[in-house]
């Protein structure tokens, strides 16, 4: 990414509606991602449990991540998909590395927050991501179906992914979302996604930020201390 202007985004909304996700290959600049990755490492070191690969609530503990939640370039992209109003709920740091190489199991995020309003998440690549170091995989169009989850298999996911689905579809339907550093994937909380295992052993740090419409709080929202309106109604 050579410029700080918002990327051109033709057809983003239609693609999100049809496929349940869309990819923005160049949303942030490499120098921004280097700064956020070093902040992610600090947050994990100072706040996360040893060997945890997921840390929920980065924006609640870091002013840098709080600011990232309403970064103008990110908001410009979100407004293509959510034209009315936007609230930030929470974010999390999720990484794969040489030591923590397991694949995230297939799931949709709504399984973690049943009976709440629809949400979407922005998965931001703080490192370049390929199939070999743990890229996100999605099942396009799966947001239109309902999926029955079972308890995640802790042996393969560090006990951090408690909801999982055993794939019963043709693997050719899956899309691996390779991205340069600073790329992003926006996906519905109904979309099935997973990750590749990190067989290359190269760092794959990501920040996943979650948004919903800016109506009054639901009880589910209240524990998320950094939630705030990003784009007001009207």
Ligand X SMILES: O=C(O)CCC(=O)C(=O)O
The residues that touch ligand X, with contacts defined as CB under 6 A, are 54, 94, 104, 109, 136, 193, 195, 206, 208
Element housing 35 (H / E):
helix 30-47
Shortest distance, CB of residue 232 to ligand X, whole angstroms?
A: 28
In sequence order, the 6+-apart residues with CB closer than 8 A to the CB of 214 are 85, 86, 87, 229, 230, 231, 232, 233
Nearer to ligand X, 79 or 183 (CB): 183
Other C-beta atoms closer than 10 Å to the C-beta of 63 total 10
Shortest distance, CB of residue 209 to ligand X, whole angstroms?
A: 11
**DSSP letters for 63-120:** HHHHHHHT-HHHHHHHHHH--S-EEEEEEEEEEE-SSS-PPPPPB-GGGGSTTS--EE
Buried b (16+ CB within 10 A) or exposed e, 180-197: bbbbbbbbbbbbbbbbbe
Nearer to ligand X, 74 or 94 (CB): 94
User: What's the rounded Cα separation, in Å, for the pair 104 and 117?
Assistant: 24
Nearer to ligand X, 52 or 76 (CB): 52
Shortest distance, CB of residue 128 to ligand X, whole angstroms?
A: 14
User: Which of 216, 177, 213, 218 is closest to 194 using CA atoms?
Assistant: 177
Nearer to ligand X, 9 or 54 (CB): 54
Shortest distance, CB of residue 135 to ligand X, whole angstroms?
A: 9
Shortest distance, CB of residue 162 to ligand X, whole angstroms?
A: 10
Shortest distance, CB of residue 58 to ligand X, whole angstroms?
A: 12
Nearer to ligand X, 6 or 180 (CB): 180
The single-letter DSSP state of residue 229 is E
Nearer to ligand X, 16 or 187 (CB): 187
User: What's the rounded Cα separation, in Å, for the pair 234 and 224?
Assistant: 24
């Amino acid at each position: 990414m050579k410029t700080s202007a918002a990327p051109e985004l033709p057809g983003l909304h239609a693609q999100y509606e049809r496929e349940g996700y869309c990819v923005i290959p160049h949303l942030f600049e490499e120098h921004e991602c280097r700064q956020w990755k070093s902040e992610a490492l600090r947050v994990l070191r100072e706040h996360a449990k040893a060997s945890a690969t997921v840390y929920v609530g980065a924006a609640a503990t870091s002013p840098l991540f709080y600011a990232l939640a309403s970064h103008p370039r990110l908001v410009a992209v979100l407004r293509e998909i959510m034209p009315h109003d936007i609230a930030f709920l929470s974010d999390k740091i999720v990484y794969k590395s040489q030591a923590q190489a397991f694949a995230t199991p297939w799931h949709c995020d709504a399984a973690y927050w049943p009976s709440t309003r629809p949400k979407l998440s922005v998965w931001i690549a703080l490192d370049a991501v390929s199939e070999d170091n743990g890229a996100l995989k999605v099942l396009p169009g799966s947001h239109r179906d309902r999926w029955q989850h079972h308890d995640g298999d802790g042996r393969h996911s560090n006990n951090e992914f408690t909801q999982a689905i055993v794939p019963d579809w043709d693997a050719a339907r899956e899309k691996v979302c390779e991205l340069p550093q600073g790329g992003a994937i926006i996906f519905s909380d109904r979309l099935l996604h997973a990750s590749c295992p990190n067989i290359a052993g190269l760092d794959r740090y990501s920040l996943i930020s979650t948004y919903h419409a800016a109506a009054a709080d639901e009880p589910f929202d209240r524990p998320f201390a950094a939630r705030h309106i990003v784009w007001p109604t009207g």
